[in-house]
């Protein structure tokens, strides 16, 4: 498996600019009963802020109420990242709760109850909460530029939006444990080899590939697809309230730790952290 060091990427791929975007998430309906949802903070590597959280949560509800949408492709706005995870400026300000909704969890998405199939089209980095968004989709297709990781431990925090129980169920246990404990990042080919994504294509072919699969889903009987996926998600443990509750409790225990404060401060200050285990 090819790994990409976390220091090379997690620090580098967060944007430097704060971006208050009233269209932080865009919904585009296409022919064939499919839709594209785009995370639209390219200047901030599509990092999740409160605008993305509430916009994406509202779009999930809108799609769930629309019988004319039978499959969704989720992507990041053009740039070097699908989603770089939580905006650490918000985390460092003690406003982590602003990135969650009651019904949808992180980004208004990771614990949302959905019947409509969602396909992640990953181009660039899907890190931390970005990977947790991918894991909350039904499956993912990647470009050759895609990179995946949960580097939270390098910042003194944990991946509290599902990765700690979804990743070991999605890929071989040892691979998941290594990614979680080291913060290492894997490339698209490694993600394909371990089953994290179903296909790897050239960047310019990614959207068409994902839309082709979405249209294939949409041609099937909607009720049959919805019921089938509901059972498959249950069998795979994608929806697991007890595991998510345990994750939330662990996050709360770490929230005021010295290491958490040091980790995010070091990240924002672009310096190595000095952890003390307190």
Report the C-alpha dihedral over residues 97, 98, 103, 109, rounded to 10 degrees. Answer: -110
- The full 3-state SS of the chain, as one line of letters, equals CCEECHHHHCCCCCCCCCCCCCCCEEEEEECCCEEEEEECCHHHCCCECHHHHHHHHHHHHHHHCCCCCCEEEEEECCCCEEECCECHHHHHCCCHHHHEECCCEECCCCCCCCCCCEEEEECCEEECHHHHHHHHCCEEEEECCCEEECHHHHHCCCCCCCHHHHHHHHCCHHHHHHHHHHCCEEEHHHHHHHCCCCEEECHHHHHHHHHHHHHHHHCCCHHHHHHHHHHHHHHHCCCCHHHHHHHHHHHHHHHCCHHHHHHHHHHHHCCCCCCCCC
Catalytic site includes residue 227: no
- As a whole number of angstroms, the distance between CA 21 and CA 43 comes to 10
Catalytic site includes residue 132: yes
Catalytic residue among 16, 28, 61, 152: 152
Catalytic residue among 64, 132, 227, 249: 132
Q: Which residues does the annotation mark as catalytic?
A: 132, 152
């Amino acid at each position: 498996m090819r790994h990409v060091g976390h220091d090379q990427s997690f620090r580098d791929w967060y944007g430097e600019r704060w971006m208050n975007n009233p269209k932080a998430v865009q919904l585009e309906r296409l022919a064939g009963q499919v839709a594209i949802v785009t995370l639209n903070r390219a200047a901030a590597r599509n990092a999740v802020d409160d605008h993305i959280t509430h916009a994406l949560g509202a779009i999930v509800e809108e799609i769930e109420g629309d019988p004319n949408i039978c499959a969704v492709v989720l992507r990041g706005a053009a740039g070097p990242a699908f989603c770089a995870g939580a905006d650490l400026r918000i985390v460092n300000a003690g406003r982590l709760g602003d990135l969650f909704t009651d019904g949808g969890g992180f980004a208004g998405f990771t614990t949302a109850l959905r019947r409509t199939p969602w396909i992640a089209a990953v181009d660039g980095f899907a890190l931390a909460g970005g990977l947790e968004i991918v894991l909350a989709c039904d499956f993912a297709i990647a470009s050759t530029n895609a990179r995946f990781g949960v580097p939270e431990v390098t910042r003194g925090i944990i991946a509290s939006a599902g990765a700690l129980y979804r990743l070991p169920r999605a890929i071989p246990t040892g691979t998941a444990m290594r990614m979680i404990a080291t913060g290492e990042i894997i490339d698209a080919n490694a993600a394909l080899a371990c089953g994290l994504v179903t296909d790897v294509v050239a960047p310019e072919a990614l959207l068409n590939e994902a839309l082709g699969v979405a249209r294939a889903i949409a041609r099937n009987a909607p009720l049959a697809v919805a019921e089938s996926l509901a059972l498959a998600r249950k069998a795979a443990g994608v929806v697991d309230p007890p595991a998510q509750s345990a994750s939330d409790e662990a996050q709360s225990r770490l929230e005021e730790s010295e290491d958490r404060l040091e980790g995010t401060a070091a990240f924002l200050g672009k310096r190595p952290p000095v952890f003390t285990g307190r």
